[in-house]
Chains A and B, each alone.
Chain A
Amino acid sequence: MSTISEAPAAPAATDGGEPAGYVRGNLRFFLNELRLLFFRRRNQLLLAVVVLFPLLIGIGLKLAAPKGQGGGGGGPASGGAAFFNQLAGNGVFLTFIALSLLLILVLPVVMAVISGDSVAGEAGYGTLRYLLTVPAGRTRLLAVKYLAIVVWAVVATFVVAVVALIVGVILFPVGPVTLLSGTTVSLGAGLVRVLFVTLFVCAAMAALGAIGLAISTFTEHAIGAIAAIMILVVASEVVDQIPQFATVAPYLPTHWWNSFDSLLRTPVDTTTLWHGLLSFAVYAAVFCAIAWAKFTSADVTS
């Protein structure tokens, strides 16, 4: 009788119980990784920065805008310029302005911190050796890390887009969207384009995340990995601006980031978009492969 009465008091506490199964076991690890990612104070501050920038850009452009007619003041050169003049006419354009401005530095930094820290941070804390002896499995751990980086890329990018959209709608007029090619589409169709632009930037950031993950497997100093990723981004952006290097430009990791302005014209220049997406896919695949080759073959000495 005693065993029966004791059974509910200590359910499966003395042994492991039944395993979670393939899908649930992996999902549990992935969800824990996301929890670690989004509940960490540092990362929450990064997201706060990502919220703050579109807000400040919107307010700044509103204050700088001459009363009554268009022209948001002189924006930076490059991709952003075309959108600035459209903003006064339609708040939806704040999304494109914010994304193109944040793509220069803020979004790459936010991606670099998370992806550079992904493996190197665990190695630095020493938690990597414990995860591997749990055992998490090297390939499985790397897959969970990269999926979490992709989720982070999507969240960070959508935060920029959504905050910019809200601020744009509040501060500027909203209505049918006049595209860069001069055609006007309905507000609904304009918002669909906002969605596609945001997804395009998500893909760009996910590709950068793969580069970061690969670099992160080569060191146990997260700060070194983060710095290396940023140097790579800035170097790529600089080389991209030099006309003499035009032949290599399409192969640079940052070259296609701003190509989303193709989505703001009719007809949509799909060739450029596909080139961009192909570039992101190749970068993601190559660097995930490098990360896997390094991580599954190297001794964990941290």
Chain B
Amino acid sequence: MTTETLAISSEGLTKQFRGQLAVDHIDLAVPRGAVYGFLGPNGSGKTTTIRMLLGLAYPTSGTAELLGVPVPDGAVSVLSRVGSLVEGPAFYPYLSGWDNLARYDSADRSASPKSAAARIGQAMERVGLTAAAKKRYRNYSLGMKQRLAIAAGLLRPRELIILDEPTNGLDPQGTREVRTLVRQIAADGITVFVSSHLLAEVEQVCSHVGVMRAGKLVFQGSLPELRHTGAARITVRTADVAAAAKVFGKLGLVDPAQGEDTITAELGATQPELICAELVHAGVGVRGLSVESPSLEELFVGLTGEGFDVDH
């Protein structure tokens, strides 16, 4: 794909902190119009990548482009077309929500001062904060703070929205609100790049995913492509696990695993009917037989490893 069709692209993007590779030669390709879920455990380099894309951090090596404009060199020219939320909301606690947005808007040289009040009002309305516009930021709830940060990202018409962990620390209600917002933004044709360590969140809204592990991009593609990478497994419940294992061996099933009264293996190209017939033929009493494709959750854990920060 050319840069014309990519909202975000990078080649060999690398960031090294004191000898440690935080981001290790990643090649991002985020198609325009996509909702791209940037997945990975905490500490896998997602935020550092986003900081480099936004010109906040300088890459050790490699290049990146936002909307076809190289960053960090062209950051100032392209960023007015990009809305972003990086590592949680940050505002002046002693200012009201409205004044906070006015502050950020005033810093944007390409924004029209004439339409500022209308744009701020509209952004606050969009995230449902109109009633709290005059309230001081320090009195906002966490969910309101998060929504104000999204409002800041929507002050101008954007072509790309980058959201770093937008539901971090939110209650289920707040999470749902943010998810709805992401859907609405995407429905307007804006490319959304959303990072998360929660697969469930990404699965519901994203068309594409990139999976990070210890600074490396270990998978990138559409959700169906990710699903395809998982191998289906067959599970047989039987009293005679040992005999069943022999049959599995004869059929050449890969990666068998025995439980107390179950045995599983990768299905591969073998027909489940054939396996059942072979088991019966061998005199193994089959109590139950099922074929399961791995859930995205399992695929995700398979790609990123168990638990958080395990790779550090």
A: residues with CB less than 8 A from B are 10-20, 22, 24-26, 28-29, 31-32, 36, 40-41, 125-127, 129-137, 140-141, 297, 299-301
Q: Could you say which of A12, A131, A136 contacts B115, with CB atoms under 8 Å apart?
A: A12
Most buried by A among B58, B82, B115: B115
Give B44-61 as 1s and 0s: 1 = Cβ < 8 Å from A's Cβ atoms. Answer: 000000010011111000
Give B96-130 as 1s and 0s: 1 = Cβ < 8 Å from A's Cβ atoms. Answer: 00000011111111111111001101100000000
Q: Could you say which of A20, A40, A131 contacts B109, with CB atoms under 8 Å apart?
A: A20
A-B contact sample (12 more), CB < 8 A, given A32-B103, A127-B90, A135-B55: A11-B115, A16-B115, A22-B109, A125-B91, A130-B104, A131-B107, A133-B56, A134-B80, A134-B105, A134-B107, A300-B57, A301-B57
- C-alpha gap A10/B75 in the complex (Å): 31
List which B18-67 residues lie within 8 A (CB) of chain A. Answer: 51, 54-58
- C-alpha gap A14/B122 in the complex (Å): 8
- C-alpha gap A26/B113 in the complex (Å): 11
Least Cβ–Cβ distance between A28 and chain B, in angstroms: 5
Query: A135 and B112 in contact (CB under 8 A), knowing A16-B156, A125-B92, A300-B51?
Result: no
Sample of 30 A–B contacts (CB below 8 Å) = A12-B118, A13-B115, A13-B121, A14-B157, A16-B115, A19-B109, A20-B109, A20-B112, A25-B111, A25-B113, A32-B102, A32-B103, A36-B92, A36-B103, A41-B94, A125-B90, A126-B88, A126-B90, A129-B51, A129-B90, A130-B152, A132-B54, A132-B56, A134-B107, A136-B108, A136-B109, A137-B109, A140-B109, A299-B51, A300-B56
Kindly state whether residue B189 has any CB partner on chain A within 8 Å: no
Query: A25 and B110 in contact (CB under 8 A), knowing A36-B103, A131-B104, A135-B75?
Result: yes
Kindly state whether residue B302 has any CB partner on chain A within 8 Å: no
Kindly state whether residue B277 has any CB partner on chain A within 8 Å: no
B: residues with CB less than 8 A from A are 51, 54-58, 75-76, 79-80, 82, 84, 86-88, 90-95, 102-115, 118-119, 121-122, 152, 156-157
**Majority DSSP secondary structure for residues of B touching A:** loop
- Which A residues are CB-close (under 8 A) to B107? 29, 32, 131, 134-136, 141
Least Cβ–Cβ distance between A285 and chain B, in angstroms: 25
Q: Considering the complex, give the chain A residue whose CB is closest to the CB of B80.
A: A135
Q: Considering the complex, give the chain A residue whose CB is closest to the CB of B52.
A: A299
Most buried by A among B75, B76, B93, B105: B76
Q: Could you say which of B55, B88, B104, B112 contacts A19, with CB atoms under 8 Å apart?
A: B112
- Which B residues are CB-close (under 8 A) to A13? 115, 118-119, 121-122
Do residues B109 and A25 form an inter-chain contact, with CB atoms below 8 A?
yes
Which 8 pairs, one residue from A and one from B, show the smallest C-beta to C-beta distance?
A126-B90, A17-B112, A32-B106, A25-B109, A13-B118, A135-B79, A17-B115, A136-B107
Least Cβ–Cβ distance between B8 and chain A, in angstroms: 14
Do residues A133 and B86 form an inter-chain contact, with CB atoms below 8 A?
yes
- Which B residues are CB-close (under 8 A) to A140? 109
- C-alpha gap A285/B28 in the complex (Å): 42
- Which A residues are CB-close (under 8 A) to B55? 132-133, 135
Most buried by A among B88, B94, B107: B107
Do residues A26 and B109 form an inter-chain contact, with CB atoms below 8 A?
yes
- C-alpha gap A136/B82 in the complex (Å): 13
Q: Considering the complex, give the chain A residue whose CB is closest to the CB of B122.
A: A13
Q: Considering the complex, give the chain B residue whose CB is closest to the CB of A135.
A: B79
Query: A19 and B111 in contact (CB under 8 A), knowing A41-B94, A125-B91, A130-B90?
Result: yes
Q: Considering the complex, give the chain A residue whose CB is closest to the CB of B111.
A: A16
- C-alpha gap A41/B95 in the complex (Å): 11
- C-alpha gap A135/B108 in the complex (Å): 6
- Which B residues are CB-close (under 8 A) to A134? 79-80, 104-105, 107-108
Q: Considering the complex, give the chain A residue whose CB is closest to the CB of B77.
A: A135
Most buried by A among B84, B112, B122: B112
Least Cβ–Cβ distance between B69 and chain A, in angstroms: 12
Q: Considering the complex, give the chain B residue whose CB is closest to the CB of A298.
A: B58
Least Cβ–Cβ distance between B56 and chain A, in angstroms: 4
- Which A residues are CB-close (under 8 A) to B121? 13
Do residues A133 and B157 form an inter-chain contact, with CB atoms below 8 A?
no
- C-alpha gap A230/B122 in the complex (Å): 45
Least Cβ–Cβ distance between A30 and chain B, in angstroms: 9
- Which A residues are CB-close (under 8 A) to B79? 133-135
Q: Could you say which of B56, B58, B76 contacts A129, with CB atoms under 8 Å apart?
A: B56
Do residues A11 and B109 form an inter-chain contact, with CB atoms below 8 A?
no
Least Cβ–Cβ distance between A179 and chain B, in angstroms: 46
- Which B residues are CB-close (under 8 A) to A126? 87-88, 90
- C-alpha gap A301/B82 in the complex (Å): 20
- C-alpha gap A125/B84 in the complex (Å): 17
Least Cβ–Cβ distance between B92 and chain A, in angstroms: 6
- C-alpha gap A40/B95 in the complex (Å): 9
- Which A residues are CB-close (under 8 A) to B103? 32, 36, 127
Least Cβ–Cβ distance between B163 and chain A, in angstroms: 12
- C-alpha gap A133/B94 in the complex (Å): 21
Query: A135 and B76 in contact (CB under 8 A), knowing A125-B92, A140-B109?
Result: yes
Do residues B57 and A28 form an inter-chain contact, with CB atoms below 8 A?
no
- C-alpha gap A26/B102 in the complex (Å): 14
- Which B residues are CB-close (under 8 A) to A125? 90-93
- C-alpha gap A300/B95 in the complex (Å): 23
Most buried by B among A11, A26, A134: A134
Q: Considering the complex, give the chain B residue whose CB is closest to the CB of A297.
A: B58
